[in-house]
């Protein structure tokens, strides 16, 4: 079955999932953070089929998450390294790890701890923070249209804002869907 492409969706989450949404892809990125560099290292660490690994590594290179370097003098041995865009995924992986530890934990506890190299202490739980440093909860934030928002995104976010404020929804939208007809 062919999956739907998110590449053209007007949503940064969907577009990110187009690049990193496959579970093997995130595990390959995890292994790159843990120090895997060569094809065989990724293959051994993950137990992934070579054809699947080849496809995922190619996509990560094409997407600018990994870069390829020749490591042998003859140029045949390749090494995969995280790019700056790849390094930007570290907080995403840590947030997933911490979520997994809280909500999909093994009975024995967390299999991996992320600690500060200098002190050996566990890192703090990931959280949203305001520009002034205040911790934010989901109810403290709201989505607003960004500079790349088209009309459909603007309308959807307007409806979200109206629902959050308790304001009545746009009657025209309800009538187009066959709901809220005048007179009842």
pLDDT in tens, 145-165: 999 999 999 999 999 888 888
Which segment of 35-44, 65-74, 130-139 scores lowest on mean pLDDT?
A: 65-74
Q: Which residue, 121, 122, 125, is CA-closest to 100?
A: 125
Average pLDDT over residues 164-173: 62
Is residue 45, in this structure, part of any structural domain at all? yes
User: What is the distance between the alpha carbons of residues 29 and 20, in angstroms, rounded to a whole number?
Assistant: 9
pLDDT tens digit sequence for 121-144: 999 999 999 999 999 999 999 999
Determine the structural domain holding residue 47 and report its residue range.
12-87
Is residue 141, in this structure, part of any structural domain at all? no
Is residue 76, in this structure, part of any structural domain at all? yes
The CATH number of whichever domain residue 51 belongs to comes to 1.10.10.10
Beta-carbon-side half-sphere exposure of residue 110 (alpha carbons within 13 Å): 14
Is residue 46, in this structure, part of any structural domain at all? yes
Structure token digits, residue 129? 């923070």
- The whole-model pTM stands at 0.81
Is residue 37, in this structure, part of any structural domain at all? yes
pLDDT tens digit sequence for 79-105: 999 999 999 999 999 999 999 999 998
The pLDDT-based confidence of 2 (bands split at 50, 70, 90) is low
Q: What's the pLDDT score for residue 182? A: 40
Structurally, how many domains does the chain consist of? 1
How much is the mean pLDDT over the chain?
88
Is residue 121, in this structure, part of any structural domain at all? no
Average pLDDT over residues 160-179: 62
Is residue 105, in this structure, part of any structural domain at all? no
CB 26 within 8 A of CB 96: yes
Is residue 97, in this structure, part of any structural domain at all? no
Instruction: Report the largest interatomic distance among the alpha carbons of the chain, rounded to a whole angstrom.
Output: 80
């Amino acid at each position: 079955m062919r999956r739907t492409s998110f590449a053209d969706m007007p949503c940064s989450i969907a577009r990110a999932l187009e690049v990193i949404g496959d579970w093997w892809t995130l595990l390959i990125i995890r292994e790159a953070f843990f120090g895997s560099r060569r094809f065989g290292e990724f293959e051994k660490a993950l137990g992934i089929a070579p054809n699947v690994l080849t496809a995922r590594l190619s996509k990560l290179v094409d997407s600018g998450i990994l870069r390829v370097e020749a490591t042998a003098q003859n140029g045949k041995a390749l090494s995969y390294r995280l790019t700056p865009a790849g390094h930007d995924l570290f907080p995403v992986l840590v947030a997933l790890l911490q979520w997994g530890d809280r909500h999909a934990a093994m009975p024995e506890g967390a299999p991996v701890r992320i600690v500060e190299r200098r002190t050996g202490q566990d890192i703090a739980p990931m959280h949203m923070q305001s520009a002034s440093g205040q911790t934010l909860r989901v109810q403290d934030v709201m989505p607003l249209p960004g500079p790349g928002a088209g009309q459909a995104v603007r309308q959807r976010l307007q409806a979200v804002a109206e629902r959050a404020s308790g304001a009545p929804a746009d009657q025209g939208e309800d009538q187009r869907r066959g709901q809220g007809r005048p007179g009842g």
